[in-house]
């Protein structure tokens, strides 16, 4: 019997369908469906609770799952915690969009989140006696960089911002993060990295630049669901 048999949560109800040890986690459930339809074979849907679609299939003969997580640290942290602790997932790879805040980043560039600074208070639950650094699993990061190099895809590797604020009343905040070398802003990675570290499993975030915040450049909603294929193909090779 698989680790998924007879297990469910209020948010994930697989009905006995296997959830693989490696899972891709886009924020948008429609991106999860696109990946399943486009890249996976022998696909079975394992979740549709709250329309947060999840699928398991094979990619180049290896079992892999993909599921949406929604937006923000609370949503990502809820789903990733359940995937880790209830369904036994060992490798969690966020694939998402981000807003660039450095001049050398452009639309469609790929970013590997080596670290994730944050303005979230999620870490307070651990009652740590100091500041915690949210970092990726080096094994996944190293493998992802190798895949990108083999595909001839240039990537940026560095620190990203996982912010609780999409609309921030402090309009100078991102300028100050930019001065600290933060590459881009998104909303989920820090929570994912904390959950993974606390549980002793692996996590990595791979992002595609969908907006340049300071230059006011942006891609379309449809492109965010279906056009960021380089990022998806790197992540799939990590299974």
- The residues carrying an active-site annotation are 211
DSSP, collapsed to helix, strand or coil, labels residue 151 as helix
Distance CA 83, CA 68 (A): 12
Closest Cα to residue 136, out of 157, 119, 155? 157
The residues, ordered by sequence, that sit 6+ positions from 134 with a Cβ below 8 Å of its Cβ are: 115, 116, 117, 118, 162, 189, 190, 193, 194, 197
What tokens appear for 5 in the block? Answer: 């048999």
On whether the CB atoms of residues 118 and 163 are closer than 8 A, the answer is: yes
In angstroms, the CA 136 to CA 132 distance is 13
CA dihedral 87, 148, 40, 96 (to 10 degrees): 60
Residues 6+ apart with CB under 8 A from 126: 132, 194, 198
Burial classification of residue 140, based on how many CB atoms lie within 10 Å of its CB (0-12 exposed, 13-18 middle, 19 or more buried): buried
Calculate the CA 176 to chain-centre distance.
Answer: 24
Q: What token pair was written down for 145?
A: 């960089």
DSSP 87: T
């Amino acid at each position: 019997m698989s680790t998924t048999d007879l297990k469910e949560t209020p948010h994930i109800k697989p009905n006995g369908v296997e959830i693989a040890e490696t899972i891709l986690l886009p924020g948008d459930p429609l991106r999860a469906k696109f990946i399943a339809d486009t890249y996976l074979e022998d696909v079975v849907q394992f979740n549709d609770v709250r329309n947060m679609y999840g699928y398991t299939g094979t990619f180049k003969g290896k079992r892999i799952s993909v599921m949406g997580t929604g937006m923000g640290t609370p949503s990502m942290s809820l789903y990733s915690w359940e995937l880790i602790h209830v369904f036994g997932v060992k490798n969690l790879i966020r694939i998402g969009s981000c807003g660039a805040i450095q001049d050398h980043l452009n639309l469609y560039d790929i970013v590997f989140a080596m670290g994730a600074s944050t303005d979230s208070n999620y870490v307070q639950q651990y009652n740590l006696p100091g500041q915690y650094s949210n970092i990726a699993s080096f094994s996944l990061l190293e493998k992802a960089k190798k895949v990108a190099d083999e595909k001839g895809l240039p990537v940026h590797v560095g620190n990203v911002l996982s912010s609780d604020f999409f609309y921030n009343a402090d309009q100078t905040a991102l300028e100050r993060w930019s001065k600290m070398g933060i590459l881009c802003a998104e909303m989920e990675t820090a929570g994912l990295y904390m959950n993974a570290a606390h549980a002793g499993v692996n996590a990595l975030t791979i992002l595609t630049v969908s907006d340049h915040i300071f230059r006011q450049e942006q891609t379309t909603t449809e492109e965010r669901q279906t056009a960021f294929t380089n990022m998806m193909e790197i992540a799939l090779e990590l299974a």
